[in-house]
Structure 1
Amino acid sequence: MFDNIKNSPNYRWYVLATVAVGTFMATLDGSIVNVALPTISHQLNSNLSTLQWVVTAYLLTITSLLPVFGRLADLMGRKKVFGYGFLVFILGSALCGLAQNIWFLVATRVVQALGAAMLMSNSPAIITAIFPPKERGKALGLTGTVVALGSLTGPALGGILIKLAGWRSIFYINVPIGLLGFAAVLLVLPKDVPNKEKEPFDYLGALSFTLGMIFLLLGITNGEDWGWSSLPVLMSIIIGIILLISFILTERKVTHPMINLSLFRNRPFLIGNLAGGLSFIAMFANNMILPFYLQGVLNYDPAQAGMLLMIFPITMAITAPISGNASDKFGPVFLTTTGLTITGVGLLYFSTLSASASFYHIIPGAILTGLGAGMFQSPNNSSVMSSVPPQKLGVAGGINSLVRNLGMVIGIAWSVSLFDALGGVASPNPSQIDAFMSAYHYVMLVAMAIAFTAAVISFNRKSYAKAQ
């Protein structure tokens, strides 16, 4: 059976389908847990400040380990690391479902995140290695669709599962999906080619990077709750910066660094990651505050708000493969720049909404931002991954995923802090509506400026790997 699959002219698409299972599972779990938090809080007797670690621990672990597992895959083999990722994720998910107290759940979410990081860091590398340049953008575009569908499906599927089988089912659902994915890894993914040079792993670099990212993100994600001038937040950010500086100094000296900093001298790689990070910073500012506008100001119920919030990922899911296919023919510059510009226009549109906007007034902004994101992501990812040599695909994919996660974290942190500083209140009473709208409009204008800045940066990528 395996020989038939491997010799099939469609073999590369079987590989893509296998990778898509891991990508879907990781993104599904990132969104499915949020809808269960109130139920988990009640059943495990947890307050909100403790409950947030169910989300934060998962995020911190994934973000801090993406380049580490990308580098390990370059050394050990991508099939091996990707396959182990499924097994670790399955184990973590099963343990999450067995949790009897909140801290056991947090600890097992860390295990789950280890598996997710192994999957997420290797997905773009596996696709880039198996697809020729003329089809690479299309393949990465379909992966973007899977990401959007995972995010879209999570809240809806989570709500159904919790109603039918309780909150533990949202973790148990990963077990059969993960077993299916692991079987596909064994049957479909190509065998790893041994690394003849036997390069050593940079343990010091990995440790300083991982700890640096954990401390830095710990400060950023808790800045609003703990206070940006509080000692824990300041110390976390300072320690994180010191460790990351130490990491950079280490990487410049060792013979085989965890992250070869010369990658950033590659213009398409640097420009693509910078523009990508800024795009997520801009998008997640709106993704964070828009639900509060819909429910707190317009008084929509969760179902109505959910319908409007679905427009963004649906539009992105439709646009991403089309844009990826177009980038294979025309290159990334026009598509990425136009996509970011459309995103900026969509954010500008959101800045004009009033406290009495109708349901249909929200739709154009959601379509514009989804269209812009879909146009940008696939060509940008293809440009970034096509710009590095094959032996660096793993670490490049890890960095690409890291930039995405960092953009999400920073986008949420700065938008909430600015919104709060301008007098915005998450659940406003009638006398606070004007302050909410003023703060929301200002945040959207800043996000628009970030998106337009990213468009200018993206326009300046001078070269890319052309289809052959």
Structure 2
Amino acid sequence: MQEKLQQLSFYKWLIFGVVGTGSFMATMTSSIVNVGLPPITAALHTDIPTAQWVVTAYLLVITSLLPLMGRLGDVLGRRKVYGYGFIGFTAGSLLCGLANSIGLLIGFRVLQAVGASALMANAMAIVTSNFPPQERGKVLGMIGTIVALGSLSGPGLGGVLVEHVGWHAIFFVNLPVGLLGFIGVYLVLPFDRDMRRETIDYSGAALFTAAMVGFLLALSYGTEWGWLSVNTLGCIGFAVASFLVFVAQERKVEHPMLELSIFRNWAFTAGNLAGALSFTAMFTSTMLLPYFLHDVLSYSPAKTGLIMSAFPLMMAITAPLSGSLSDKVGPGILTTAGLGLMASGLLITAKLSSGSSLLAIMAGQALMGLGNGMFQSPNNSSVMSAVAPRYLGVASGVNALARNFGMVCGTALSVSILEYRRAASLSGISQPTPAEQTLAFMTGYHDALLVGVFLAVIGSLVSFNRPRKAVPGRT
């Protein structure tokens, strides 16, 4: 069956369809669950801090396992790991929908996240290895479109399912898509050839996971615990110690989980650094804008969702175009200009006030989406073209890690700045009036987004100094 499919002129696009299915499902699930947290909290008789672990555990596991899953794809075969990713994700989704306690739900979300990490870490590697270099920008741009559509459809679909079916449905909806994706892996994806007989550095993976969990816990809960508290400083200290031991481990083992020498390639390092900065900057707005629209402007959830859809919609339109263009002109100009536009959109969003028009709000979101779409596709193409073919899995995993790490940092940074500036504005006021509370919120909101503008500008400068054309490293 597969041999017949490989003879088709559009066979590579069948491969793209399978990879796109996994990318869409993993992205949609990341955004669909937030809508279901309130009914989950009530139905499973728990509280908000505990229910939040349904999201936090998923994020921690994915971010921690991405490099390992990329490495497993390089060694065991990307087809095999991607197929296992579909199995784990689909099984986790089924069990999540059947869970009758918050502890079981969180545990099954971990299984779901293991599968999702396998999908995320190997998606771009599979696409890159099956498309010629002159088409990589275009096809990676189309992956960017699928990611944007997944983010766009998640909250809306989740709201409908929760309201008319129940919270279990936000997990069950993955089942037919997951089964379809696994069938696609079995029938369509080519078998990996010339796989290396190398050992897997599981001790290095454990050290990296420990470092990421410690650091992400500090970032996620630093505001709640206090940044100088024993819990926060303990997590940071544990993360630093684990990471230092991890680096020492990777330097001495014959087959490390993460080949540190690939970071000597500036095109690879610059692309991942710029990517992390872009997502950190972006999530200052993604986190705080809904609170501004709801608490300050009193917009309904439906109107808020419509406004914020301008960002992924513009990204979905722009990403394939910028990807195709980068195949001709290289990544430097497009990534630099894209982050410049993102910084401009963030600046417009930072300057919003209680009297801002709907047009101004939508313009800021559209400009950010335009800039992000212009940046992501050429940047992903540059990163994946900067490494030798045998390290495509690791490169794909690191690229996804940079994205997730930026999301966590942007969320934690924006909340920390908001709460610090709001508390400073209200210090000495025992019973603040609604106007004083709004003013305090706006002070923190403006400062947090201005930090996002600064980070986007730094990312733009990093992109400006990357090589015009990525040259694969020898390692």
In the other structure, the counterpart of 1:80 is 80
Equivalent pairs counted in the alignment come to: 465
In the other structure, the counterpart of 1:458 is 463
1:303-452 paired onto structure 2 within 5 Å = 303-423=302-422, 429-452=434-457
Cα separation, 1, equivalents of 2:144 and 2:340: 19
Residue 342 of structure 1 contacts residue 368 of structure 1 at CA under 8 Å; is this kept in 2?
Answer: yes
Cα separation, 2, equivalents of 1:5 and 1:160: 38
1:215-364 paired onto structure 2 within 5 Å = 215-364=214-363
| DSSP 3-state at the match of 2:422 | coil
Cα separation, 2, equivalents of 1:237 and 1:73: 30
In the other structure, the counterpart of 2:50 is 50
Deviation of 1:330 (Å):
0.8
Cα separation, 2, equivalents of 1:290 and 1:193: 47
Cα separation, 2, equivalents of 1:148 and 1:344: 19
Q: Does 1:10 align with 2:10?
A: yes
After superposition, give the CA deviation of every residue in 1:170-227 in whole Å (9 maximum; x if it has no partner). 10111111000000001110112142x4111112211111111111111111112222
Alignment root-mean-square deviation, CA: 1.5
Q: 1:272 to 1:111 in 2, by over 3 A?
A: same
Deviation of 1:255 (Å):
1.6
Residue 114 of structure 1 aligns with an amino acid whose one-letter code is V
| DSSP 3-state at the match of 1:252 | helix
In the other structure, the counterpart of 2:429 is none
Cα separation, 2, equivalents of 1:318 and 1:353: 25
Cα separation, 2, equivalents of 1:211 and 1:29: 25
- Return 5+ residue gaps in structure 2 as ranges: 426-431
| DSSP 3-state at the match of 2:46 | coil
Residue 76 of structure 1 contacts residue 194 of structure 1 at CA under 8 Å; is this kept in 2?
Answer: no
Cα separation, 2, equivalents of 1:356 and 1:41: 35
Residue 63 of structure 1 contacts residue 406 of structure 1 at CA under 8 Å; is this kept in 2?
Answer: yes
Cα separation, 2, equivalents of 1:53 and 1:466: 42
Identity %: 51
Residue 331 of structure 1 contacts residue 466 of structure 1 at CA under 8 Å; is this kept in 2?
Answer: no
Residue 330 of structure 2 contacts residue 468 of structure 2 at CA under 8 Å; is this kept in 1?
Answer: no
Q: 1:428 to 1:179 in 2, by over 3 A?
A: farther
Residue 366 of structure 2 aligns with an amino acid whose one-letter code is I
In the other structure, the counterpart of 2:187 is 187
Deviation of 1:244 (Å):
0.8
Residue 339 of structure 1 contacts residue 376 of structure 1 at CA under 8 Å; is this kept in 2?
Answer: yes
Cα separation, 2, equivalents of 1:375 and 1:77: 32
Range 429-438 or range 219-228, more displaced: 429-438
Cα separation, 1, equivalents of 2:318 and 2:125: 22
Residue 298 of structure 1 contacts residue 357 of structure 1 at CA under 8 Å; is this kept in 2?
Answer: no
In the other structure, the counterpart of 2:129 is 129
In the other structure, the counterpart of 1:199 is 198
Residue 451 of structure 1 aligns with an amino acid whose one-letter code is A
Deviation of 1:389 (Å):
0.6
Residue 313 of structure 2 contacts residue 369 of structure 2 at CA under 8 Å; is this kept in 1?
Answer: yes
After superposition, give the CA deviation of every residue in 1:285-339 in whole Å (9 maximum; x if it has no partner). 1110000000100110111111101110001111000100100111000000000
1:81-100 paired onto structure 2 within 5 Å = 81-100=81-100
Range 158-167 or range 37-46, more displaced: 158-167
| DSSP 3-state at the match of 2:252 | coil
Residue 348 of structure 2 contacts residue 360 of structure 2 at CA under 8 Å; is this kept in 1?
Answer: no
Cα separation, 2, equivalents of 1:465 and 1:454: 18
Deviation of 1:46 (Å):
1.0
Residue 163 of structure 1 aligns with an amino acid whose one-letter code is E
In the other structure, the counterpart of 2:26 is 26
In the other structure, the counterpart of 1:63 is 63
In the other structure, the counterpart of 1:119 is 119
Cα separation, 2, equivalents of 1:93 and 1:70: 22
